[in-house]
């Protein structure tokens, strides 16, 4: 039997090599996995032209995955620095990289990225449209936008953020709202501007079936972008956000009917108490499709520390239904992140994802925590460094102020609780002055 997408294969009862890989990684029965891919609750973004890909699954019952955003801008157009970030992201175990380049001819960078990356690759074709087409925004036609989508698909992009839900109805709802930060989605704002200047409907909504035909041909997963996501906690869960989300649920079903895999994107900025309900609403309105969140950032006053505000929100979101976390770096809202910002953002997101996996009872999630706890009991520093998410940083901290006694650290010294208890349980005396 012939098939073009993972979803189509799953519906036909076919277990693909990508499903077998994900099954092995996740310790999930491959037949159960196939059923969940068939009904859209798990996606395996895997463009047939991305030959270096080590596939991953995203969805309920699987480990929470993280995404790294990178790419050049007009102010920072050094592709060599972006490839350093790519290599670091893969080394630190990020499952996904989104190329958000918005300056110049980005396809040279993107093709090389796809050639070398074992992580899945995502893009937002709307960002690339102006540079690719060499036209100003108002002069771009609906067909032009689709040319960029098809170019990205041919290159091997595994998933694309497409803001198909911001239609004229959603725009009118947005205009009637009392938002502080209006539209903060870059792609969403460009589409909003195009719609307002031309008077036309969103082409990705109006010609959605044509879009799905392109994505189906290459097995590109559509990541339904949330153009009206809240950019401040004041704006969260308002009529604009929910109106668009309802439309994204309809678009999800239409994509599944054409055997196109779907991710749904979500907030944004949101107070902690609103996060669990938002996850439930999204899953209900979008029929259980995997949920991809940026943060959520739980406060608006921490520029320079937004990797922390994001990790707090991400852990809560992922323990309440979100499946895919987009990292946020300390540079968020301030500048293009440098290499260290990328590392900080990845580590913060991995902490949030792992914490959620423990809360969700993902098979094997607690094992490494138990190993770390045992190493701490034994005061085995080398084992502790090996189990740490960032072992290099842990070692650097420990060695920066070395203890006189290797069976402790410089904070507690000979009063180390582990050391004291170990000695007593092994029948030794604890003599703090004489030792």
Domain ranges of the chain: 6-359, 367-425
Cα 153 to Cα 45, 50, 238: the distances in Å are 12, 10, 34
Q: Is 292 annotated as a binding residue?
A: yes
Beta bridge partners of 99: 70, 123
Is the CB of residue 315 less than 8 Å from the CB of residue 322? no
Is the CB of residue 65 less than 8 Å from the CB of residue 318? no
What are the phi and psi torsion angles at 56 (to 5°)? -130, 150
Is the CB of residue 428 less than 8 Å from the CB of residue 416? no
The Cα–Cα gap between 81 and 237 comes to 37
Q: Which residue has the tokens 């350093």?
A: 84
Q: Is 76 annotated as a binding residue?
A: no
Look at residue 75 in the predicted model and tell me its pLDDT: 62
**Of all helices (H) and strands (E), which one includes residue 99?**
strand 96-99
Half-sphere exposure for 122 (CA within 13 Å, toward CB)? 28
CA-based angle 31:37:39, to the nearest 5?
110
Region of residue 361 (left: phi > 0; alpha: psi -120 to 50; beta: else): left
Tell me how many helices (H) and strands (E) the chain has: 19, 10
Q: Which residue has the tokens 């009529």?
A: 239
Q: Is 186 annotated as a binding residue?
A: yes
Look at residue 132 in the predicted model and tell me its pLDDT: 79
Length of the chain: 435
**Mean pLDDT in order along the chain per 10 residues (435 residues):** 93 98 97 98 98 98 97 72 94 96 78 96 91 87 95 97 98 96 96 97 98 98 98 97 98 98 96 98 98 97 98 98 98 94 98 98 96 96 97 95 83 89 92 71
State pTM to two decimals: 0.95
Q: Is 187 annotated as a binding residue?
A: yes
* Close Cβ partners of 13 (under 8 Å, ≥ 6 residues apart): 34
What are the phi and psi torsion angles at 224 (to 5°)? -70, 105
Torsion of CA 85, 88, 93, 98, to 10 degrees: 10
Q: Is 435 annotated as a binding residue?
A: no
Q: Is 354 annotated as a binding residue?
A: no
Q: Is 412 annotated as a binding residue?
A: yes
**Of all helices (H) and strands (E), which one includes residue 110?**
helix 107-116
The Cα–Cα gap between 120 and 376 comes to 35
Q: Is 227 annotated as a binding residue?
A: yes
Q: Which residue has the tokens 């990289």?
A: 97
Half-sphere exposure for 254 (CA within 13 Å, toward CB)? 19
Look at residue 412 in the predicted model and tell me its pLDDT: 87
Q: Which residue has the tokens 């519906």?
A: 11
Q: Is 226 annotated as a binding residue?
A: yes
Question: How many other C-beta atoms are found inside a 10 Å radius of the C-beta of residue 212?
Answer: 22
Where helices occur in 177-238 by DSSP H, the ranges are: 186-198, 203-206, 208-218
Is the CB of residue 52 less than 8 Å from the CB of residue 118? yes
Q: Is 61 annotated as a binding residue?
A: no
The Cα–Cα gap between 357 and 234 comes to 29
Q: Is 200 annotated as a binding residue?
A: no
Name the 3-class secondary structure at 285. helix
CA-based angle 191:193:195, to the nearest 5?
70
CATH superfamily name and code, 6-359? Radical SAM ThiC family, central domain (3.20.20.540)
Name the 3-class secondary structure at 100. coil
Question: How many other C-beta atoms are found inside a 10 Å radius of the C-beta of residue 249?
Answer: 19
Look at residue 71 in the predicted model and tell me its pLDDT: 85
Q: Is 127 annotated as a binding residue?
A: yes
Q: Is 366 annotated as a binding residue?
A: no
The Cα–Cα gap between 271 and 313 comes to 8
Q: Which two tokens stand for residue 180?
A: 């502080």
């Amino acid at each position: 039997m012939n098939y073009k997408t993972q979803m189509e294969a799953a519906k036909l009862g076919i277990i693909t090599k990508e499903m077998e890989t994900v099954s092995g990684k996740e310790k999930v029965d491959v037949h159960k996995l196939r059923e969940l891919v068939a009904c859209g609750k798990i996606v395996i973004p895997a463009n047939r032209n991305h030959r270096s890909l080590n596939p991953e699954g995203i969805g309920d019952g699987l480990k929470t995955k993280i995404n790294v955003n990178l790419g050049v801008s007009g102010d920072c157009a050094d592709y060599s620095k972006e490839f350093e970030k790519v290599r670091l992201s893969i080394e630190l175990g990020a499952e996904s990289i989104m190329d958000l380049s918005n300056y110049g001819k980005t396809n040279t960078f993107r093709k090389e990225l796809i050639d070398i990356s074992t992580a899945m690759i995502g893009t937002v074709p709307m960002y690339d449209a102006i540079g690719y087409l060499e036209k100003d925004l108002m002069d771009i036609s609906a067909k032009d936008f689709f040319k960029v989508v098809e170019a990205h698909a041919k290159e091997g992009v595994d998933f694309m953020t497409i803001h198909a839900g911001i239609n004229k109805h959603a725009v009118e709802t947005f205009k009637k709202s009392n938002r502080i930060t209006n539209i903060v989605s870059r792609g969403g704002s460009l589409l909003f501007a195009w719609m307002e200047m031309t008077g036309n409907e969103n082409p990705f909504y109006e010609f959605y079936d044509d879009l799905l035909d392109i994505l189906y041909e290459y097995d590109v997963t559509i990541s339904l972008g949330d153009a009206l996501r809240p950019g401040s906690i004041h704006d969260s869960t308002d009529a604009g956000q929910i109106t668009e989300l309802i439309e994204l649920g309809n678009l999800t079903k239409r994509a599944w009917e054409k055997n196109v895999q779907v991710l749904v994107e979500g907030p944004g900025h949101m107070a902690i108490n609103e996060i669990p309900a938002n996850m439930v609403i999204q899953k209900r309105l979008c029929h259980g499709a995997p949920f991809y969140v940026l943060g959520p950032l739980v406060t608006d006053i921490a520029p320079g520390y937004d990797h922390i505000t994001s990790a707090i929100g991400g852990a809560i979101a992922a323990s309440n239904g979100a499946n895919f976390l987009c990292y946020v770096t300390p540079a968020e809202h301030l500048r293009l992140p440098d290499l260290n910002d990328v590392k900080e953002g990845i580590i913060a997101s991995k902490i949030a994802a792992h914490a959620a996996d423990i809360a969700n009872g993902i098979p094997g999630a607690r094992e490494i925590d138990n190993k770390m706890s045992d190493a701490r009991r034994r005061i085995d520093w080398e084992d502790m460094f090996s189990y740490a998410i960032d072992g290099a940083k842990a070692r650097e901290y420990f060695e920066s102020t070395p203890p006189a006694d290797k069976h402790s650290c410089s904070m507690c010294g000979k009063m180390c609780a582990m050391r004291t208890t170990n000695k007593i349980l092994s029948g030794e005396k604890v003599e703090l002055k004489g030792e």
